[in-house]
Structure 1
């Protein structure tokens, strides 16, 4: 059905719901297009005939192993997605994973979707699953996942012409839906067909014309037989056939891609070739693939879980155990700060990551380990209050995602008097990072062992991970997620991370005011758990002290004054009176965050630095001289690090991105966001800025 433009700045904004009329038989009609969402005869059977039958999906799924990717133009009521899910349940090979990507400009409200769901009782259980994860009406990419069903939905809330350029292939089947070309001419334009071609030809190869029934050929089906659609698909390289339509519709189109218009220009023929590399996107037999994940913190455990849920056998290694580093904190706030300036990509990433993280928390943690009690970001200073005011003036989000609170409202929400109002994230809260990591590894495909890795080497078609005890482990893929220790395992790679020491202070709940939401000022503090509150953390750059410091406890206690009068009184007393301090302060913990220069994580393939320099050396002298060469990367070697203090939010989405790339699936994030977290983004920047020679590259790699 119809689709919503994002703003020109890329900022995520509140979207409009469709203007609907509900007919006497309960079916919705879009007033803006004067067109019903589906057949008046039987919408479910029409969808099955048009999209399942004419893409040959039940038969293809029976033999398919690995991810099967469908892209749909027009999510509407979700009917096409859910009837595909139902058929997938009944017909798919046990090693097949369905990734369904759908674009929608005017997403139905939760109430509208519930009303539409009542039309299809046989899909009631699937509608219930969808409704539980249905996203906020904010523009951008939304990742919904049901790993127990091997089903993933990437719902892109945007205009189709804004969304398609941001999609990655491969696409194995197209559901070309949307209101009729005569009612919705803006959608059925040449750019639509150009991007259908690009995504259908995403490195998966093609077959001879007499082999078009082969399982792996990209297919397409659409309810319309309009000439503009037929000609557009032919021009995009599809073999198009008119076939009988459903019910009273005389004809529809069925097609398969066979590249009739010449080779597609590779993605690395672009202004940013260093952000592209040769991917293997043919359907993978994930059941036989293996992976080793090094590092059992948030980054490593989420990656291991995402891979395991897609059928890979995963060995998870850590020299200290599960969540023994910075990820071992007893409580962490699940929250983000959103920008209202030109940091659009930063905001897009963290908003998508935050919403993905909430779903993972709800799915994997108990009520004792995940408390969605809300997060209150206080306007604790004049500068912060001004920033929040500027933010609210420039962007619009639903109240259920983020809403402003006055000082009185904030006090009522927190159950104690606050010093100021602020921004309230209703669905956020706190989680136990350590408990989250331990829950993540509870999967039959994950095998954890305490081990120290000495070296990673490539031998023929596999990677060898050599351990200090003399053993050698082999795998198709290796993911290094060892935060600040990553450079020791990958010494010849440019990973410009920095270590930041953080000290938490534990406060006795018996001696603190009441609190029932997470507070954020210069530090964060969660409501009491196990008779204590966690306060912190400090921010110490270039500091490797592992022992607790009394001075840092004093710093944390000083931050209590940001929260409100009672907290300020407690802060002053604890800093002046040793007896009060000793009763209040009952412990703490030191951890070391791993951050990057742009405060976005690093997740993706490891770059071959010397070859990378050779490929783009002309740009050192003239940045406008861009060689059209893909980035040279180590096949099957990946990193996931640099999450800083936001790993609870950022790690799950990065894990989903890596799992998609490793298994050859389409991605759950936009092209812009994907490029923003690639490891290669820093190397060329530093090459060009520093005007280095090849001999000097080793200094860059080593951080010199």
Structure 2
């Protein structure tokens, strides 16, 4: 599960910048400027836009247009491509308004994937891009979401421009094996081959060939500023018809080319080792222009999502933003089950031990979720949806103190993500005396899950209905038939199951080893308890007061299906108040004015289950040889229930995990580029427990 993770999980090398007399950033390590001394912006346009035939190719291309870049650097190539795409979309929209009938396909989204081993800080990027005031609008939008320099994948989205950026902080030779197609254009940038030979190797070109071979009928082009022989031969070996063309300014030549189908055998890849993850085609078609929701016939929904909690609402939003009509159904309505709490902490608890995959996923998911929640909060009218007040994880007993010390000894993360604090510092942050210090997450805070769910559903392509689905079966035409308790039926081409533990009822034959854990929240009268300024976490969590109420919770009751609020569980929550310092010593049951019960859905490895669902019996038969010999991997796709997808198992971390899982699932359903890479995709795949227990011979 830890294949091809970032080469250094916890610390990235500095870019070691200097600034020359013209204000241009220069790499001291490679003794090379980041862009042309003459006019870096015009050179980028000439090399990468013109010689990948952009923006012309966006007209006539349907769906998502995917670019992979080696060397993000200052972000110049991304920003000028973004600017060009926005101009193209404006012209496209104008054509649509003035044309009586226009059925020509148009690119809906730009997906830009870029790899950077030595990422600039936000301040360095801002200084570098100040040289290009015409890109200032896009630079500011990028800076608002620019991630902390933590190794791994970082997925940024600007839905108003239909642009997404997957920014990978890692060595290119570690990052490319994580990627798959389709890729429509390659930007081979980075420092000159003579200055940075470690990047321009056979490994780079072999991975380009592998990725393009995954989508051999996609029109893929390549452009690079250099005409060095090693690069020309490498690109040709990657399957491109390559040619030399005049370079920019004083540069005599550069390279450009197009991918050819006759490119030879596919290189070993993630899929060769894990054939059960081969994308399951066919996917849903690229969306046509949508009729208003009211004009669409019920029962002909293209995509249907079951479950209107954080997972379901996030999935519906991700699909709708891609242009697909989504019907979201839930027997109770939006945000009424486990996602219905008035407040929840948006933070992550990183493992002290070396659990690289768990850490990498939650780091990636946390930063993406922060950006998404802020975007939804700023777009909506409810100012009481999100508060970035920080989260303080207290070292409330010896065991937790030892865990935090072990974590600090083995981890080096930016202080903007996490920083240790003393008891005195914790007291100032909390606004009340603390007996111990802890770990402080300054970017974190609390969100209102139910309100967030409501805002996620505020999209013209999302239709929400209260509908209690009781059964699910596949029709002969591969569509799915749903039936409720009153024998009402509806049909859908694609179905996403996002109803937590209740997925087991709809999928009795699927292998879903999830647990249902009861949790009771206690809601206190804030006038009777001390004020706090940040979210406090120990055995329970507590958020700052909101509308005169303070949330405290929640209990963990395994094998307990009681839906009603219990006085004993309020007492349990109140007993945990001692973890939050002496100011809470006098708080008693009189302060509790109400409670709420929800049920978490957790998995054995505490990671969500997101992706396609194996057909259990057919999967066992197909991969039975691996039970006797783990190296005997059948060369076959995994048998899955086509058109059926899963997004469950978020436990008590749905605020952090659901938005990224929704993006991943939407990419899988629409056959778009992954926002996470294959290692995380594997770790979240719903069939992992079936395969694991087969290998352990628990299933025969």
What interval of TM-score do these two structures reach, taking the shorter chain for normalisation?
over 0.9
| 2: CA distance, partners of 1:145 / 1:75 | 17
Report how far residue 44 of structure 1 moved.
1.0
User: What residue in structure 2 maps to residue 210 of structure 1?
Assistant: none
Report how far residue 428 of structure 1 moved.
0.3
| 1: CA distance, partners of 2:272 / 2:259 | 24
User: What residue in structure 2 maps to residue 441 of structure 1?
Assistant: 457
Aligned to 2:77, what secondary structure does the other structure show? helix
Which of the numbers 194, 200, 224 marks the counterpart of 2:226?
224
Report if the CA contact (8 A) 2:271-2:277 is conserved.
no
User: What residue in structure 1 maps to residue 59 of structure 2?
Assistant: 62
1:586 equivalent to 2:583? Answer no
Deviations 1:171-197 (A, max 9, x none): 111000001100111110111111111
Which of the numbers 492, 504, 507 marks the counterpart of 1:475?
492
User: What residue in structure 2 maps to residue 451 of structure 1?
Assistant: 467
Report how far residue 275 of structure 1 moved.
3.6
1:561 equivalent to 2:578? Answer yes
Q: How high is the TM-score relative to the length of structure 1?
A: 0.92
Aligned to 1:179, what secondary structure does the other structure show? coil
Which of the numbers 232, 235, 247 marks the counterpart of 1:245?
247
Report how far residue 340 of structure 1 moved.
3.4
Deviations 1:607-652 (A, max 9, x none): 1111101101123334343222221112221010000000000000
Report if the CA contact (8 A) 1:67-1:663 is conserved.
no
User: What residue in structure 2 maps to residue 163 of structure 1?
Assistant: 175
Deviations 1:243-272 (A, max 9, x none): 111111111110111133324268586343
1:308 equivalent to 2:320? Answer yes
User: What residue in structure 2 maps to residue 339 of structure 1?
Assistant: 351
Report how far residue 282 of structure 1 moved.
10
Report how far residue 655 of structure 1 moved.
0.2
**CA 1:285 to 1:233, structure 2 compared with 1: closer, same or farther past 3 Å?**
farther
Report how far residue 48 of structure 1 moved.
0.8
Deviations 1:6-46 (A, max 9, x none): 99886632324322222333222212111111122211111
User: What residue in structure 2 maps to residue 213 of structure 1?
Assistant: none
Aligned to 2:160, what secondary structure does the other structure show? helix
Deviations 1:482-501 (A, max 9, x none): 11111111121111111000
Report if the CA contact (8 A) 1:510-1:531 is conserved.
yes
User: What residue in structure 2 maps to residue 193 of structure 1?
Assistant: 205
**CA 1:276 to 1:392, structure 2 compared with 1: closer, same or farther past 3 Å?**
same
User: What residue in structure 1 maps to residue 164 of structure 2?
Assistant: 152
**CA 1:287 to 1:306, structure 2 compared with 1: closer, same or farther past 3 Å?**
farther
User: What residue in structure 1 maps to residue 618 of structure 2?
Assistant: 611
1:595 equivalent to 2:602? Answer yes
Report if the CA contact (8 A) 1:268-1:274 is conserved.
no
Where in structure 2 are the equivalents of 1:304-453 lying within 5 Å? 304-365=316-377, 366-453=382-469
| 1: CA distance, partners of 2:457 / 2:11 | 36
**CA 1:303 to 1:182, structure 2 compared with 1: closer, same or farther past 3 Å?**
same
Where in structure 2 are the equivalents of 1:251-290 lying within 5 Å? 251-264=253-266, 270-280=272-282, 284-285=286-287, 290=302
Report if the CA contact (8 A) 2:270-2:678 is conserved.
no
Where in structure 2 are the equivalents of 1:118-129 lying within 5 Å? 118-129=130-141
Gaps of at least 5 residues in structure 1 are: 1-5, 207-215, 575-580, 694-704
Aligned to 1:336, what secondary structure does the other structure show? coil
Report if the CA contact (8 A) 1:362-1:370 is conserved.
yes
| 1: CA distance, partners of 2:459 / 2:8 | 37
| 1: CA distance, partners of 2:197 / 2:107 | 40
User: What residue in structure 1 maps to residue 87 of structure 2?
Assistant: 90
User: What residue in structure 2 maps to residue 205 of structure 1?
Assistant: 216
State which drifts further: 623-632 or 75-84.
Answer: 623-632
User: What residue in structure 2 maps to residue 71 of structure 1?
Assistant: 68
**CA 1:492 to 1:7, structure 2 compared with 1: closer, same or farther past 3 Å?**
closer
Report if the CA contact (8 A) 1:15-1:137 is conserved.
yes
**CA 1:364 to 1:9, structure 2 compared with 1: closer, same or farther past 3 Å?**
closer
Deviations 1:424-481 (A, max 9, x none): 0001000000000000000001011111223333331533333444444333321010
Report if the CA contact (8 A) 2:6-2:175 is conserved.
no
1:104 equivalent to 2:120? Answer no
State which drifts further: 13-22 or 219-228.
Answer: 13-22
| 2: CA distance, partners of 1:119 / 1:142 | 25
User: What residue in structure 2 maps to residue 699 of structure 1?
Assistant: none
| 1: CA distance, partners of 2:116 / 2:216 | 29
User: What residue in structure 1 maps to residue 99 of structure 2?
Assistant: none
Report if the CA contact (8 A) 1:268-1:277 is conserved.
no
Q: Number of aligned pairs?
A: 668
Report if the CA contact (8 A) 2:55-2:88 is conserved.
yes
User: What residue in structure 2 maps to residue 697 of structure 1?
Assistant: none
State which drifts further: 21-30 or 544-553.
Answer: 21-30
1:135 equivalent to 2:147? Answer yes
User: What residue in structure 1 maps to residue 129 of structure 2?
Assistant: 117
1:32 equivalent to 2:29? Answer yes
Report if the CA contact (8 A) 1:295-1:480 is conserved.
yes
Deviations 1:658-682 (A, max 9, x none): 1111122111112211100000101
Report how far residue 531 of structure 1 moved.
0.9
1:462 equivalent to 2:479? Answer yes
Aligned to 1:201, what secondary structure does the other structure show? helix
| 1: CA distance, partners of 2:109 / 2:277 | 27
| 2: CA distance, partners of 1:638 / 1:296 | 15
Report how far residue 235 of structure 1 moved.
1.2
**CA 1:527 to 1:520, structure 2 compared with 1: closer, same or farther past 3 Å?**
same
| 2: CA distance, partners of 1:131 / 1:428 | 18
| 1: CA distance, partners of 2:50 / 2:285 | 21
**CA 1:683 to 1:653, structure 2 compared with 1: closer, same or farther past 3 Å?**
same
Q: CA RMSD in A?
A: 2.0
Aligned to 1:494, what secondary structure does the other structure show? coil
Where in structure 2 are the equivalents of 1:634-645 lying within 5 Å? 634-645=641-652
**CA 1:474 to 1:632, structure 2 compared with 1: closer, same or farther past 3 Å?**
same
Aligned to 1:655, what secondary structure does the other structure show? helix
**CA 1:223 to 1:360, structure 2 compared with 1: closer, same or farther past 3 Å?**
same
Deviations 1:301-360 (A, max 9, x none): 000000000100011111111111000000000011112322110000011111111011
| 2: CA distance, partners of 1:417 / 1:292 | 50
Which of the numbers 535, 539, 545 marks the counterpart of 1:528?
545
Report if the CA contact (8 A) 1:95-1:287 is conserved.
no
Aligned to 2:673, what secondary structure does the other structure show? coil
